[in-house]
A = this chain, B = another copy of it.
């Protein structure tokens, strides 16, 4: 959805007479980062108010699968038989979230990850000590641990593999449960919330300090004074097509992963007081069909060539498909591969093309003559030997494909039912990774690199840990982790 031009310029504090509401720490946006910030600020003794534009808390966090990227030796990792260290976790994230990943944030995030696990458990997030051991967006079980590419090339050469995807044990997507737990924690700590309230402008004092926000509720403007700090946890900007066109045009026209409220308003309000941003072109690209089908089959582009190891983190395949192959991508498989995909990971999709030979299949797909047949022959030869010199797919997932062969256009994939029912899309579900430039403590930095007094941010309103890369669990992960730090810093 586009948005009409509107001013996000700051309101001068001198122009604001009597504030309608007075608080210590004002949190804008009640997703996972907002809840974590509100909890910590309240725990630190501050009066806390959360403004949320929707009728209740949750945002995109509540609609997510609930994966939280944690490691360094959590009890769940240990129970499942894995050893891990903060250093190995950092080595993986550095490679997976780059180029442009935030080194200082990665270091802190990994060093304190076990402690953050315990904090989540103490709030009431349940994790079951069992492993889901295959690529998936959201495993169809309540297993508490999953791989997110750590055991795939090139990461296997850069860090000791350990699974770090931690999942709340829930009956459906774990994001809802996570948000129930976190909002209860924030409320119990004393944080207040005001819903249906959309922040439109920051309020700035003469000396540059952010002193509050202007917001609207049911069409009526009101002002909030924040005596200690404003924490922006408003989410990314995938719902604002003007911002996508300006910064991430390749993300336009795909299914948006959001609650419909990720319009970048917090990013723009902060930019209007001089805040710097990072990596606004970056995006996560989820192709629903990839994890289930890809690892068990083969992924090729429109020229019938492979371009990635099919057993890696599915979002890495998604980014390669969109940013490097322009979504001209097919999954190729045989009957055994199809049958091996768990029912929920098929999204109800049947092969779009079936053929008795590779030559026949490439004719059906319209790929250049001989190319796909050669690719399949080469892949099968590798598979028979159990090694993939081209893309280093792990031996476990290598198996010669035998006729009849089938292909699925990844654009046939549907979104997860929990998000949009069975609406068909372009094959890709996307959200933005770029946002405000913050310190480890969530201070928003200006264009010269100095903190803007009174202004903090966390969650996808900031770029967080991320450069151009992404791994599932790093949104709820850095949202809750750096949300906590921002809440504490704002309360000081």
- Within A276-309, the residues touching B (CB, 8 Å) are 276-282, 303, 305
Complex contacts, A272 vs chain B, CB 8 Å: 274, 446-447
* Contact call A390/B303, Cβ cutoff below 8 A: yes
Q: How far is the CA of A467 from the CA of B244 in the complex (A)?
A: 12
Q: How far is the CA of A235 from the CA of B276 in the complex (A)?
A: 19
Q: How far is the CA of A389 from the CA of B242 in the complex (A)?
A: 37
Known: A99-B250, A245-B100, A249-B98. A448 touches B9 (CB 8 A): yes
Q: How far is the CA of A5 from the CA of B272 in the complex (A)?
A: 19
* Contact call A8/B447, Cβ cutoff below 8 A: yes
Q: How far is the CA of A247 from the CA of B434 in the complex (A)?
A: 9
Complex contacts, A391 vs chain B, CB 8 Å: 303
Tell me the number of copies of this protein.
2
**Cβ-defined partner of A390 (8 Å) among B274, B277, B371:** B371
Complex contacts, A305 vs chain B, CB 8 Å: 305
- Within A390-441, the residues touching B (CB, 8 Å) are 390-391, 437
Q: How far is the CA of A24 from the CA of B444 in the complex (A)?
A: 37
**Cβ-defined partner of A9 (8 Å) among B7, B9, B274, B323:** B274
Output the nearest chain B residue to A10 by Cβ-Cβ distance: B274
Q: How far is the CA of A250 from the CA of B6 in the complex (A)?
A: 33
* Contact call B374/A389, Cβ cutoff below 8 A: no
**Cβ-defined partner of A278 (8 Å) among B6, B246, B324, B447:** B246
A271 proximal to B (CB < 8 A): yes
Complex contacts, A324 vs chain B, CB 8 Å: 323-324
A1 proximal to B (CB < 8 A): no
Interface flags for A311-333 (1: CB within 8 Å of B; 0: not) read: 00000000000011000000000
A342 proximal to B (CB < 8 A): no
Q: How far is the CA of A479 from the CA of B265 in the complex (A)?
A: 32
* Contact call A274/B276, Cβ cutoff below 8 A: no
Interface size on A, residues (CB 8 A): 48
- Within A222-244, the residues touching B (CB, 8 Å) are 242
* Contact call B249/A468, Cβ cutoff below 8 A: yes
Known: A249-B467, A272-B274. A448 touches B8 (CB 8 A): yes
Q: How far is the CA of A272 from the CA of B8 in the complex (A)?
A: 13
Known: A99-B250, A249-B468, A378-B370. A448 touches B281 (CB 8 A): no
**Cβ-defined partner of A246 (8 Å) among B378, B389, B437:** B437
A56 proximal to B (CB < 8 A): no
Known: A271-B271, A368-B389, A370-B378. A247 touches B278 (CB 8 A): yes
A369 proximal to B (CB < 8 A): yes
Binding site for B on A (CB under 8 A): 5-9, 98-100, 208, 242, 245-247, 249-250, 252, 268, 271-272, 274, 276-282, 303, 305, 323-324, 368-371, 374, 378, 389-391, 437, 446-450, 467-468
The 7 lowest CB-CB distance pairs between A and B, nearest first, are: A5-B449, A100-B249, A281-B281, A368-B389, A99-B249, A7-B448, A246-B278
Query: Can you report 16 residue pairs joining A to B where beta carbons are below 8 Å apart?
Result: A5-B448, A5-B449, A7-B446, A7-B448, A8-B448, A9-B208, A246-B276, A246-B437, A249-B467, A250-B468, A268-B447, A272-B446, A281-B282, A323-B324, A368-B389, A371-B390
